[in-house]
Amino acid sequence: MLIVTLLAFLSICDGYRVLLFFPIPGKSHSILGEAYIRHLVNAGHEVTYITPIPIKTPPARVRQVDISETAGLLSEELFNIEKLMYKELDLQQISLFEVVLRNFLNGTLHGKAMHKFLHDPKEEYDVVIVEWLYSELGSGLSTVFNCPLIWSTSTEVHSGIISLIGDDLNPSYAINIWDRDFSSPLYRFKNLWTYLENKYNKWTYVEPENLIFEQAYRTAVELRGRRLPSFDEVRFNASIMLGNSHIAAGESYPLPQAYKMIGGYHLKGVMEPLPKDLQKIMDEAKDGVIYFSLGTMLRSSALPEAKKRELLTAFSKLKQTVVWKHETPMSNVPKNVHVLQWAPQQSILAHPNTILFITHGGLLSLYELLDVGVPLIGIPMFGDQFTNINRAVLKGFAKRFDIGEQPVSQLVEYIKEMIENPLYRQRAKEMSLVFHSHVVPPGQELVHWVEHVIKTRGAPHFRSVSMRLHFYQKYYLDLLTFILLLLSTIVYVAIKILKRKTPVDLKKHE
Ligand SMILES: *[C@@H]1O[C@H](CO)[C@@H](O)[C@H](O)[C@H]1NC(C)=O
Ligand SMILES: *[C@@H]1O[C@H](CO)[C@@H](O)[C@H](O)[C@H]1NC(C)=O
Going residue by residue through the chain, which has 510 residues, state the pLDDT in tens, using 9 for 90 and above.
Answer: 555 555 554 445 569 999 999 999 988 899 999 999 999 999 999 999 999 999 999 999 999 999 998 877 776 556 666 666 666 666 667 777 888 889 999 999 999 999 999 999 999 999 999 999 999 999 999 999 999 999 999 999 999 999 999 999 999 999 999 899 999 999 999 999 999 999 999 999 999 999 999 999 999 999 999 999 999 999 999 999 999 999 999 999 999 999 999 999 999 988 899 999 999 999 999 999 999 998 776 666 678 889 999 999 999 999 999 999 988 888 889 999 999 988 899 999 999 999 999 999 999 999 999 999 999 999 998 889 999 999 999 999 999 999 989 999 999 999 999 999 999 999 999 999 999 999 999 999 999 999 999 999 999 999 999 999 998 999 999 999 999 999 999 999 999 999 886 655 555 555
Whether residue 113 is found in the same domain as residue 179 = yes
Nearest atom, ligand 2, residue 149 CA: 5
Domain that holds residue 67: 15-265+441-468
Ligand 1 centroid, distance to 478 Cα (angstroms): 39
Using CA atoms, how far apart are residues 36 and 449, in angstroms rounded to an integer? 12
**Any idea which ligand is nearest the CA of 226?**
2
Whether residue 169 is found in the same domain as residue 284 = no
Whether residue 25 is found in the same domain as residue 155 = yes
Q: Are 467 and 236 in contact (CB under 8 A)?
A: yes
pLDDT at 506 (0 to 100) = 55
DSSP H helical segments within 351-441, as ranges? 363-372, 385-395, 408-420, 423-435
Domains held by the chain: number: 3
pLDDT at 294 (0 to 100) = 85
DSSP H helical segments within 320-373, as ranges? 345-350, 363-372
**pLDDT tens readout for residues 7-41:** 554 445 569 999 999 999 988 899 999 999 999 99
Express the helix, strand and coil content of the chain in percent, nearest 5 each: 50, 10, 40
Looking up residue 49, the CATH number of its domain turns out to be 3.40.50.2000
Q: Are 285 and 353 in contact (CB under 8 A)?
A: yes
Say which amino acid occupies 70: T
Nearest atom, ligand 2, residue 234 CA: 14
pLDDT at 91 (0 to 100) = 63
Q: Is residue 500 part of a domain?
A: yes
Residue to substitute in 108, 110, 115 for testing ligand 1 pocket (most ligand atoms within 8 angstroms of CB): 110
Nearest atom, ligand 1, residue 209 CA: 13
pLDDT at 11 (0 to 100) = 47
Q: Is residue 216 part of a domain?
A: yes
Q: At 52, is the secondary structure helix, strand, or coil?
A: coil
pLDDT at 472 (0 to 100) = 92
pLDDT at 70 (0 to 100) = 81
Which amino acid residue places its CA nearest to atom 12 of ligand 1? 212
Ligand 1 centroid, distance to 105 Cα (angstroms): 10
Phi, psi dihedrals of residue 389, rounded to the nearest 5°:
-75, -45
Which amino acid residue places its CA nearest to atom 10 of ligand 2? 237
Whether residue 179 is found in the same domain as residue 127 = yes
pLDDT at 100 (0 to 100) = 84
Whether residue 83 is found in the same domain as residue 154 = yes
Ligand 2 centroid, distance to 130 Cα (angstroms): 15
Ligand 2 centroid, distance to 315 Cα (angstroms): 57
Query: Taking the CA atoms of the chain, what radius of gyration do you get in angstroms?
Result: 27
Residue to substitute in 143, 237, 241 for testing ligand 2 pocket (most ligand atoms within 8 angstroms of CB): 237
Q: Are 371 and 267 in contact (CB under 8 A)?
A: yes
Whether residue 218 is found in the same domain as residue 85 = yes
Beginning with the edge strand found earlier in the chain, give each strand of the sheet holding 17-21 in spatial order.
62-66, 46-51, 17-21, 127-132, 149-153, 240-243, 259-261
DSSP for 254-313, written as a single string: ---TTEEE-TTTT--SSPPPPPHHHHHHHHH-TT-EEEEE-TTTS-GGGS-HHHHHHHHH
Q: Is residue 270 part of a domain?
A: no
Q: Which one, of 105, 98, 129, lies nearest residue 238 by Cα?
A: 129
Q: Is residue 2 part of a domain?
A: no
Please indicate whether residue 106, judged by its CB atom, sits closer than 6 Å to ligand 1.
yes
**Any idea which ligand is nearest the CA of 233?**
2
Ligand 2 centroid, distance to 148 Cα (angstroms): 6
DSSP single-letter state for residue 150: E
| Ligand 2 neighbours by CB, cut-off 6 Å | 142-143, 148, 229, 233-234, 237, 239, 458
Whether residue 483 is found in the same domain as residue 356 = no
**Any idea which ligand is nearest the CA of 213?**
1
Residue to substitute in 215, 217, 219 for testing ligand 1 pocket (most ligand atoms within 8 angstroms of CB): 215
**Any idea which ligand is nearest the CA of 112?**
1
pLDDT at 85 (0 to 100) = 67
Q: Is residue 39 part of a domain?
A: yes
Q: Is residue 494 part of a domain?
A: yes
Using CA atoms, how far apart are residues 473 and 180, in angstroms rounded to an integer? 35
Whether residue 367 is found in the same domain as residue 505 = no
Q: At 207, is the secondary structure helix, strand, or coil?
A: helix
Whether residue 113 is found in the same domain as residue 216 = yes
Whether residue 195 is found in the same domain as residue 93 = yes
Whether residue 431 is found in the same domain as residue 448 = no
Domain final residue pick, 380, 414, 435: 435
Q: Are 62 and 41 in contact (CB under 8 A)?
A: yes
Q: Is residue 400 part of a domain?
A: yes
Q: Is residue 301 part of a domain?
A: yes
Whether residue 454 is found in the same domain as residue 500 = no
